[in-house]
Structure 1
Amino acid sequence: MEPFDTMARTTCKRVLLLQDHTSGLQAAIALDSLTLGPALGGIRTQPYPDFAAALADAQRLASAMTLKNAIAGLPGGGGKTVVIDHPGLDRRAAFARLGQFIEDLGGLYRAAGDLGTTHQDLLAAASVSRFVNTSGQALGDATGQGVVACMRAVARTRGKELADLTVAIQGCGLIGSGVARELKRQGAKLIVADLDENAARRLGAELGAGIVAAEQVLTVPCDIVSPCAIGGVITPLIVSQLAAWAICGGANNQLAELGAAEELAQRGIIFVPDFLASAGAVIVGATQSLMDGADPQPLISRLGATTATIIAEAEASARTTVEVATEIARKRIAAEENAA
């Protein structure tokens, strides 16, 4: 009964539990909202401790995707897939089977990559499904552009431009490297870190960035910290140790708990909600899949204007940026529901 108990605590529209004994596939697809259109969200692959933990993560991530797509102005709802990584997983066969499940949904859910899922995994899924986007590098670059558009708005709240700032980036994968390269083009000074020290050294050498240990990057002296790896990294302890005056990154669900947003506000640290800052990739995916190949750049650029609006409204109303951004997203969804 444990998976059903977990599902009973969610507001997701649909939850699909997937298993394939031959390939070892154990996965869940959570469709949080379909009000604005088909659910959009990536495929995450992790060695979860149990199925309940995987299901809970899928639901949290799908809910964040609902907010992300709504605040970005996209015609899509929120969804997410999690795949349990384990020693018996035949990845090629498992992701092909997952692709078949996604194809069977007939476009109700559109997927791309996420943490722990490789390009080869996506190719296997896409070999049997029209609804799996394999453009990893392009999507990482788009996320970088969106994060930097938001950072520019943050900088201007202090009367600065990006070239005036030092930014510490946690994670040197597709998203972190996309953010770093875009910031380099804008003239910012960079500090990078990754659990894979070789990845950090390579990116640091390419961009002339400083390199610090992974456990130090969130608290190193800088202007903006940019979490671009796993979620849950902004804990109460990290909040108390932050030297930066702003947080803006491409990782999903950066706050370990919602109360961290209030603690950041009390310290005067600007937090750009991650479901806003990280929207670049899904914007590109949505314009390709749902918007007849429309130019994504105006929507990516608009993330900066939305950031400025949210920061100003949060200061004027003595609320957190997360509260303001969530309200904006929920109002758009409610308006669509009322119009239906």
Structure 2
Amino acid sequence: MQLDITINKGSGQKPVVIFIHGLGVDKGFWTDPGNSRVLGGSILMKVFAARKPRPCSIKPERKLSVGKLPEKPENLWTDAVKMGFNTVCWTQKRPAGPIGIAVREFEYILKYVTEVFPGKPIAIIGHSRGGLVARKLMEKNVPEIKALITVATPHKGSSLSRLGNYLAPLAPVIKKLLPKDSHSTASELIKRTYDLLENNALKELLPDSAFFKTLKDLPRDNVKYLSFGGTVTKLITVYKWKKENDKFYPKPLLTIPDSLLKILPSGIIPDEITPGKGDFMVTAESAVLPWAQKHYNLPANHISIASHKKMKDRTLKLLEEL
């Protein structure tokens, strides 16, 4: 099997950490957070960690802004490499395909890792659907696996895909609320969000899907389990510059998903995109690994949680104990 694999050989005394990315992205989600793209490759991942731009006295070159981007974003992978852990990640051939394909690839990766690092304990870190890929394979007894850490993984499924039925008809409504010179930006964001919600692989994660009905993994006594969930739904805000007196100020123009919440009927808004209950893709409740020794809910969205300090600190502490 030919896979695009990144391996970092660290200290000989450290365990091996296999990172699994989620739906619709590639290994760059972990290995290259500064350049990795999401939403069909249209948006840099670091946009989701952008901060509100500051007022300025010189007229900005562009009318719209998504905020100040981090120059060198660091996530759990970058910290693990710095600490000398042996790290492995691969790009799933069909990251938006059936989960079973990713599970078979993971099985190959495990075999490969045990050959490259014989006798080493292995820890698995799965973001989003990546955590389910790990759980499915762990239905088999793999003695080398000593830890499973899931980050924003929908252990009870995600109902977000059902929202796609309502989103497409709302695009014209949202555009009418915005200035004409921002329509192309708004249309692109709405389209990419809709495409994500309509993805068949996301439908596979519905709580009543065949996947969850056949998921039969059980906790093992010699494995450490840790999970994290997010409670911030805001993914991205588009600002429009407005001149007031002698300065230009950023004014929020469109926020995903907040702009949708204002026009969607309250009865159809899922907890996944309800502030305080979800991270835009997964509810905090669903993110709890049933047999995790510890679980943490963090003020982060589905993307930014991979760089959250508390998540990194708690995970690295567990890895040091292996």
TM-score interval (norm. to shorter): 0.3 to 0.5
Structure number with bigger Rg: 2
Give TM-score, length-normalised by structure 1: 0.34
Greater fraction strand: 2
Give TM-score, length-normalised by structure 2: 0.35
Larger RCO, structure (CA 8 Å, separation 6 or more): 2
